């Protein structure tokens, strides 16, 4: 997580509000799957920044469920995170899409500030989180 996103979370929590932390929401405006669909529609190769790139994925219904869970159950000052299972290798995901749609995958190189892998929680947060069904609540 970048410094500005983390700072926003801290400020929000310190005001007594609840934070909802998302993975990559597939099908949303900024999602890599939406970007890839646009590239396919334009006859361009699907771009991947690095072959080792991994990300957590969630669907739009999962994201909505997470927000509703937080809105219903939060007391304020908490972080809600969906248990998204394992990280997905972006290159493998791109290859599976290309197998279905045709085309090719192009590796373009990692961009400044981008990380190869992501962690949904820090080690410190893992020590103080509570598992609630498909969610974690960091208190």
In a 13 Å sphere around the CA of 128, the CA atoms on its Cβ side amount to: 7
Return all residues near 133 (Cβ < 8 A) that are at least 6 apart.
Answer: 69
Q: How far is residue 75 from each of residues 3, 27, 72, 101, 126, measured CA to CA in Å?
A: 25, 30, 9, 46, 19
* pTM of the shown model: 0.80
Taking only the tens place, the pLDDT of each residue in 81-125 is: 988 889 999 999 999 999 998 889 999 999 888 889 988 888 999
Percent of the chain clearing pLDDT 90 (strictly above): 61
Domains of the chain: 3-138 (3.40.50.720)
Short-list 4, 6, 59, 63, CA closest to 33: 59
């Amino acid at each position: 997580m970048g410094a500005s996103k983390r700072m926003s979370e801290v400020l929000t929590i310190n005001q007594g509000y609840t934070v909802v932390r998302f993975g990559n929401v597939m099908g949303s405006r900024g999602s890599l799957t939406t970007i890839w669909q646009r590239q396919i529609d334009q006859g361009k190769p699907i771009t991947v920044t690095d072959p080792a790139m991994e990300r957590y994925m969630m669907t739009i219904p999962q994201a909505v469920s997470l927000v509703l869970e937080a809105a219903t159950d939060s007391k304020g000052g908490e972080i809600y995170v969906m248990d998204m299972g394992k990280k997905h290798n972006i290159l493998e995901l791109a290859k599976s899409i290309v197998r279905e749609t045709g085309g090719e995958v192009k590796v373009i190189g990692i961009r400044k500030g981008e990380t190869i892998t992501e962690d949904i929680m820090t080690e410190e947060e893992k020590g103080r989180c509570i598992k609630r069904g498909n969610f974690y609540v960091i208190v």
